[in-house]
Structures are given as structure tokens and as C-alpha cells.
Amino acid sequence: MPSAGNTPIAVTIAGSDSSGGAGIQADLKTFSALGVYGASVITALTAQNTLGVTAIHDAPPDFIAQQMEAVFSDLDVRAVKIGMLSRPATIATVAEGLARLGARHVVLDPVMVAASGARLLEDAAIDTLKSRLLPLADLVTPNLPEAAALLDAPVAEGENETRAQGERLLALGAKAVLMKGGHGTGAESVDLLVTPAGVVRLPAPRHVTRNTHGTGCTLSSAIASGLAKGEDLATAVAAAKAYITGAIAAADRLHVGRGHGPVHHFYALWPSS
């Protein structure tokens, strides 16, 4: 049985980004920056840098299951962030493991396309994601193109359409949906937290930078961090929105790679120079 204690622990179930800006690496950086111990279950390896993804090597489903068993049987996991799950077999394995192991506070980031434009989710896997994982998610965090792909609909334009798509995702089984507004337009980036109780509007200044690699991974991991520390969903989402806004605003302080560089996970801890 897992040992209970005061250390908040979260686990990321996602792919590895060899350049360190997204995926498992971004998740673990976020957990650490926010005072949470991070564990990991690697679903795939990517050969990747700020210019793009050149290769993907999927982990065998039985090895993913073994990683999950090892982590959950020993650690008191208080929240789960799920990222890149590229194949139907991977999604089914993760869903079975979450149910069997009694996972708490599951945050699903439906990763489909990298910042560079590379596809990270097979088309055949979308239906499996909707049928197997959405009902297990306490929160799903799609950006506007991801929400449209999940619903086989045009990308939402404006807050009314965004809210309507969030409500449709609730109807598919998710307990709550955070519709991310980073792909929208205007001076503010507005996220909408859609729950059965209503909608919470989360605006923030839109910072123009090409260094947005790992933004979605970081936001969902920040939410999982708050849940692991015992925050309620609305509080965790609001705190995560503030954190990712700061990480994007500070992204140009880093000089990493020649393409879409990462956000600055440790902007509050590293010297500003």
C-alpha cells in the first residue's frame, strides 16, 4: 500500500521531449517549481527540438502498465496529469490502469499537435480518447483546435461558441472542461472553466512571443500541482492560469534553440538577468 504523508505527489503520464521544453520534462519542471514532488510514466519517446519532432517511439502498453503499477503501489499519488497518448492501445492501457489503481484528481490534456505542427495523436485514437479517458477525467484542458477535433466541429470563434463546445465536452463525460484561449485573438487570452455548475471566465494579458513550446503541458501540470496540494478545482485552475501567464511573459529571458523555445518554468526562482 502507498505510504501516506505530507509531501504532495503528482504523476505525469505522457511522452518525453528530448529538448526538455514540453512533455514529461515540462511537467516535472512545473511540479518542482510549484512545490510538488513529481513522478512519471513515459508513454512515448520523441526525437524533438525547438524546430520540430523528427521521430516517435511508442512505449509498449505492458511496460506503461508496469510503470503505473510501480508508481501507484508505492507513492501516495494525489493528482495525475495525462499528456501525449498517441495510439488507441496506449489510451486503453492508461484508462484501465487509472480505474484499477484508484487514481485521484485526473487532469487530461488531449495533446494532438506539437507547437511545431507535428501530429502527436493518431486519428484512430481520438474516438478511444473520448470513450475511455474523458469519463475518467476530473478536468480536460483542450485548446480551441483540440476541442474542435474532439467534437468533429469547426474551431470555435468567440466566447459563446467556446462555451458551447465546452458544454458539449461535458456531455461526453468529462466532469469539468477548461477551454483554453491561447489560440484566440485579442489583447486578452481568455480561458473558460466549464462545469455543471456554470462557467468561470479567466482572462489574462496576451503576450506575443514565439517561445510557447510546452504551454499546454505546463498549464495542465500546474493545475495538477494545485490539486495535489489540496486546492479545489477553481482555485487550482486560477493559480495555474497565473503561473503560465508569468512563464510565457518571461519566456524571452531564455535563449533555447532556434525555433519555438520553451516557456520559463522557473521565472520566479531564477535571476532575471
Residues 217 and 14 sit within 8 Å (Cβ to Cβ): yes
What is the rounded CA–CA span in Å between residue 170 and residue 223?
A: 18
Burial group, residue 158, by CB count within 10 angstroms (0-12, 13-18, 19+): exposed
Grid look-up 477553481 returns: 234
What is the rounded CA–CA span in Å between residue 180 and residue 78?
A: 24
Cell numbers standing for residue 54: 523528427
Considering just the CA atoms, what is the radius of gyration of the chain in Å? 17
**Amino acid (1-letter code) at residue 253:** R
Residues 201 and 106 sit within 8 Å (Cβ to Cβ): no
In angstroms, the Cα distances linking 264 to 123, 127, 215 are 31, 34, 10
Among candidate residues 11, 75, 64, the one with its CA nearest the CA of residue 40: 11
Among candidate residues 96, 84, 79, the one with its CA nearest the CA of residue 15: 84
Which residues are catalytic, by number?
A: 180, 212, 214-217
